Amino acid sequence: MIEFLKGRLAEKNPSYAVIECNGVGYYVNISLNTFSLLGDEEVVSLFTHLAIRDDAHVLYGFADKEERTFFRQLISVSGVGASTAQMVLSSLSPSEAISAIANGDAATVQSVKGIGTKTAQRIIIDLKDKVTQIEGGSDISLTAHNTSREEALSALFALGFDKNKSTKMVDNLVKNNGEMPVEELVKLALKKL
């Protein structure tokens, strides 16, 4: 299996990229999320998933391991192929998709082209417990639409606190205390950081 590719970005398109590694160009299918994160850097690194079918070997690339893990979870659902999983990751950000699945929001999952009611329900049933195991997945799913959380995190980042520690701290505070004003959330986080 090919774990990742690191090389020169030879070509970039919203649905694929060509990565040149030691004189060999690899055609890699990517999501819009990965496309936006690639930027215009000369040397890039993509985590990969190789799908072997009877008629082709297809390489999928991801900006980070969490996106690849989520992709692999999606294709483990009966009736969801690699193309559909790539469409999910192109239509929704990984955090939006994880949040929708964790919260049982079938309408959001169904908003992806090619996913009907039954497939959306199957994805939610099969992955509801699994998506929280993706690093940061449970934190994202429980608090994705909390504006107080977002503003508090922005304030902590501006003050120079570590992103991962701040995020975990604020998410724990929101989880344990419920919704609260931004000022109070920042004060509590500052006492504990």
Tell me the pLDDT of the chain averaged across its residues.
Answer: 86
Mean pLDDT of 83-89: 93
20-28: long-range contacts, CB 8 A cutoff, minimum separation 24: 26/59, 27/59, 28/59, 28/60, 28/61
- Lowest mean pLDDT of 10-14, 66-70, 106-110, 153-157, name the range: 153-157
Question: Is residue 24's pLDDT more than 90?
Answer: yes
User: What does each C-alpha distance from 24 to 9, 27, 91, 103 come to in angstroms?
Assistant: 12, 10, 30, 43
Mean pLDDT of 62-67: 93
What pTM, to 2 d.p., does this model score? Answer: 0.68
Core vs surface per residue 139-170: b (16+ CB within 10 A) or e: bbbbbbebebbeebbebbeeeebeeeebbebb
Domains of the chain: 4-62 (2.40.50.140), 65-135 (1.10.150.20), 146-192 (1.10.8.10)
Please give the pLDDT value at position 96: 87
Question: Is residue 31's pLDDT more than 90?
Answer: yes
- What value, to the nearest 5°, has the Cα angle with vertex 23 and ends 22 and 28? 85
Confidence of residue 146 (pLDDT cuts 50, 70, 90): low
Closest CA to 184 of 154, 158, 149, 157: 149
Please give the pLDDT value at position 142: 45
- pLDDT digit string (tens) for 88-140? 999 988 888 988 898 888 999 999 988 999 999 999 999 988 887 775 544 44
Asked if 187 and 156 count as a contact pair (C-beta separation under 8 A), the reply is: no
